[in-house]
Amino acid sequence: MNLSKNIFSDYYKCFFCNSSNLGDSILYKYKDNPYTLEIRKKNGLSIEDINSNLLLKKCNNCQSLTFSKWFSNAVYENIYKFAKHRMGWNRFLNTIYRNDSESIKKDIETFIKLTQQINKIDSYLEIRCPFMGMYPLFCLIKQPKNNNEKLFSSKIHRLRLFFLKLIKKKKFSEDVYKDLKKIKIPNENIFLKDKSSKGWGERCNHFGCNCKNILKEFNWINSSNLDEFDPFQKNIDLLYMNNTLDHIENPYATLSKISSRVKNIYIKFHSISGGAQHPFFLQKETINFISTKLNFKIKNLENKNEYLLSK
């Protein structure tokens, strides 16, 4: 099939660290997902067409797997432009409205585990998506129930949400109530917004509301733009990054800038099976690269692709 040059482009630098020192090709067949399906529908492609036109290589500098042939700027800017972040919204709704004990307990266990490793988390930072970290859990604990009910300003959409809860809301088990009491919410909570085209933006809407508008309702979170971040202000105990680095511009340079103020970094990332909509995939060796370059020590956590870096 003769594919338009507008669909795929060649790239000569690593999407993570920006190095041009790219090594061997990595063979991998990607499965379809909602993002690749949307690309295929718009361009009349099969999943075989997608796979035959992608070229993944290992970066000899940071050891990440990065595409040297991937979707063109015009295509990937539209991957997220008109979509909502399904994983993020599901995490938020499962925590705040559906009382999904399994999802909530995972976050509780992760935060307790990090608190035990760090000893004290008094200041906390997230980037990009306000629903992929601990803010939904903190909101469940911190916000009065009636405040959470009013996060969506439209009465029509709040009615829709009411019926969603009526159908899917569950009762907490006693152990969840006990575990929630173990969480000490940091005194200082910071969120940095990013305008990258590799992530969701103004169209990341659900029930008539944008995720960033909901964030504005949390007056206990200090929100600002990533490019306004001051690396010389006081230190931050924990930067929490759950599947975040592959959705921001210049990820390594950004991480390097922020790390000057951060004592600990939690990183969780997609494996290669995370989908062809991601421009690169971190590896364990990439975590070694980050820790060495930024002067952190690695603390391996229990789960695969999950690390805590500490100074």
Among 29, 58, 81, residue at a domain's last position = 81
167 or 189, greater pLDDT: 189
Determine the average pLDDT of the residues in 255-272: 95
Torsion angle of C-alpha atoms 94, 95, 100, 102, degrees rounded to 10: 110
Q: To the nearest whole number, what is the mean pLDDT of the chain?
A: 88
* pLDDT for residue 3 is more than 60: no
Q: Is 275 helix (H, G, I), strand (E, B) or coil?
A: coil
Model pLDDT for residues 55-69, shown as the tens digit of each residue: 999 999 999 999 999
Give me the sheet containing 264-268, strands edge to edge.
221-225, 188-193, 123-127, 238-242, 264-268, 306-310, 297-300
Pair 62, 130 in one domain: no
The span from the CA of 119 to the CA of 148, in Å, is 30
C-alpha 308 chain-centroid distance: 16
Q: Which of 201, 195, 191, 196 is nearest to 223 (CA)?
A: 191
Pair 42, 111 in one domain: no
Q: Is 269 within 8 Å of 281 (Cβ atoms)? A: yes
- Asked if residue 294 belongs to a domain, the reply is no
Residue 145 confidence class, pLDDT cut points 50, 70, 90:
low
* pLDDT for residue 167 is more than 60: no
Pair 164, 247 in one domain: yes
Pair 76, 92 in one domain: no
Domain that holds residue 116: 88-268
- Asked if residue 237 belongs to a domain, the reply is yes
Q: Which residues pair with 190 in a beta bridge?
A: 125, 222
Residue 175 confidence class, pLDDT cut points 50, 70, 90:
confident
Pair 64, 112 in one domain: no
CB count within 10 Å of CB 229 equals 16
Determine the average pLDDT of the residues in 80-108: 85
Buried b (16+ CB within 10 A) or exposed e, 7-39: bbbebeebbbbeeeebeeeeeeebeeeebbebb
* pLDDT for residue 279 is more than 60: yes
Residue 1 confidence class, pLDDT cut points 50, 70, 90:
very low
Positive/negative CA dihedral, 171, 174, 126, 79: negative
Pair 59, 105 in one domain: no
Pair 41, 187 in one domain: no
Pair 37, 105 in one domain: no
- Asked if residue 149 belongs to a domain, the reply is yes
- Asked if residue 146 belongs to a domain, the reply is yes
Among 41, 66, 81, residue at a domain's last position = 81
Determine the average pLDDT of the residues in 97-107: 86
Pair 68, 107 in one domain: no
Residue 274 confidence class, pLDDT cut points 50, 70, 90:
very high
Query: What's 162's domain CATH number?
Result: 3.40.50
- Asked if residue 211 belongs to a domain, the reply is yes
Pair 47, 122 in one domain: no
Pair 190, 70 in one domain: no
Q: Is 13 within 8 Å of 21 (Cβ atoms)? A: no
Among 268, 290, 305, residue at a domain's last position = 268
Determine the average pLDDT of the residues in 93-109: 87
> How many structural domains are present in the chain?
2
- Asked if residue 167 belongs to a domain, the reply is yes
CB count within 10 Å of CB 304 equals 9
Pair 185, 211 in one domain: yes
